[in-house]
């Protein structure tokens, strides 16, 4: 049942040009960055050779690209998630799902899984760029895998937050803007932490991208993984609650 909804979701996404445009734009921007980064590497190479314990290709080319990808996707994910529930509410197709013999949890999980499919497609396409380097050089595949997982977790939490905000309104633009605001807030929240002194630990812990950074460096800390999983579970739970109370209030 969850799969049925997820399949429909991914189909609807790719039936509109939005998904294609998003994939193309991201691919183009990061492709350009990728080439620039390779160019950089050639300039740096003579100096690197003289160093002991030099960072490898994966550190110099791949990690910065995905660092940038995270920021670009922070701006783009709201566009992917905005329609997920707001559109159903606007077109009243949500009634079809409410009157079907499925529970609200199944409905929300199906929707989230649909978004997750899209994220996997997106991330896998991005991964092809660094993998193409395998033709010419050796890569740290373990690190690459860590980056892949990091992207999935980060984008998964973006999607969960976006889905919740989409469930609050029947206006897609409002859903997109508020998602963007929320994600941006969670990104910059640790910028002030230096001047905070006491509460520093907590505030910087909330930052979405801080946890991302350690994973990009190839450090697989269970606290980071737990952080993302908790964000996802929290917002999926909130979405279920919201849809349930929609039936009460209207």
Partner 1 sequence: MDAPIDIKQPPLIRVEKLSRLYGDTVAVNQVSFDLNKGEVLGFLGPNGAGKSTSMQMITGSLAPTAGQITINGFDLIDDPIKAKSCIGYLPENPPVYRELTVDEYLTYCARLHRLSRTELTPALQEAKEHCGLEEVGHRLIGNLSKGFQQRVGIAQAIIHQPPVVILDEPTVGLDPIQIREIRSLIKSLGQNRSVILSTHILPEVQATCDRVQIIRRGELIYNASIDELNQRGKGNHLTVAFTQPPNQQTLEDVDGVKTVTSIDPQRYQIQFEADDFAMFLVEISVQNQWGLFELIPDNTSLEEIFVELTTAETPADVEENAA
User: Interface with partner 1 by CB under 8 A: which residues?
Assistant: 1, 4-5, 8, 11-12, 15-16, 91-103, 247-248, 250
Concatenated DSSP letters of 66-106: HHHHHHHHHHHHHHHHTHHHHHHHHTTTHHHHHHSS--HHH
- H or E element, residue 186: helix 172-188
Q: Whose structure tokens read 């660094």?
A: 130
Judged on CB neighbours under 10 Å (0-12, 13-18, 19+), 155 is buried
CB nearer partner 1, residue 110 or residue 156: 110
CB nearer partner 1, residue 8 or residue 221: 8
Cβ 88 to partner 1, closest distance in Å?
A: 9
Phi first, then psi, for residue 93 (nearest 5°) are -75, -15
CB nearer partner 1, residue 4 or residue 54: 4
Compute the distance between CA of residue 104 and CA of residue 208 in angstroms, rounded to an integer. 28
The dihedral built from the CA positions of residue 129, 158, 190 and 229, taken in this order, carries a sign that is negative
Q: Whose structure tokens read 């905070």?
A: 196
CB nearer partner 1, residue 15 or residue 202: 15
Cβ 98 to partner 1, closest distance in Å?
A: 4
Cβ 17 to partner 1, closest distance in Å?
A: 11
Cβ 213 to partner 1, closest distance in Å?
A: 39
Cβ 6 to partner 1, closest distance in Å?
A: 11
Compute the distance between CA of residue 100 and CA of residue 55 in angstroms, rounded to an integer. 55
Cβ 95 to partner 1, closest distance in Å?
A: 5
CB nearer partner 1, residue 57 or residue 85: 85
Write out the two tokens for 232. 């996802």
CB nearer partner 1, residue 45 or residue 93: 93
Start-to-end Cα distance in the chain: 26
């Amino acid at each position: 049942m969850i799969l049925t909804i997820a399949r429909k979701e991914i189909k609807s996404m790719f039936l509109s040009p939005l998904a294609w445009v998003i994939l193309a734009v991201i691919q183009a921007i990061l492709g350009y960055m990728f080439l620039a980064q390779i160019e950089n590497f050639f300039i740096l190479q003579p100096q690197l050779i003289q160093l002991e314990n030099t960072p490898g290709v994966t550190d110099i080319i791949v990690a910065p690209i995905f660092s940038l990808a995270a920021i670009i996707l922070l701006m783009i994910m709201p566009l992917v998630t905005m329609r997920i529930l707001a559109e159903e509410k606007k077109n009243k197709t949500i009634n079809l799902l409410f009157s079907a013999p499925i529970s609200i949890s199944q409905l929300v999980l199906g929707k989230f899984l649909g978004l997750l499919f899209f994220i996997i497609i997106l991330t896998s396409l991005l991964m092809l760029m660094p993998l193409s380097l395998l033709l010419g050089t050796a890569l740290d595949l373990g690190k690459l895998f860590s980056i892949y997982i990091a992207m999935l977790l980060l984008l998964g939490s973006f999607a969960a937050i976006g889905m919740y905000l989409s469930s609050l309104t029947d206006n897609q633009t409002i859903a997109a803007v508020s998602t963007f605001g929320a994600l941006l807030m969670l990104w910059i929240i640790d910028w002030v932490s230096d001047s905070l002194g006491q509460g520093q630990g907590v505030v910087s812990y909330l930052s979405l991208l801080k946890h991302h950074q350690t994973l990009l460096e190839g450090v697989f800390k269970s606290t980071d993984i737990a952080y993302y999983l908790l964000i996802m579970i929290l917002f999926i739970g909130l979405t279920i609650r919201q849809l349930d109370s929609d039936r009460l209030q209207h």
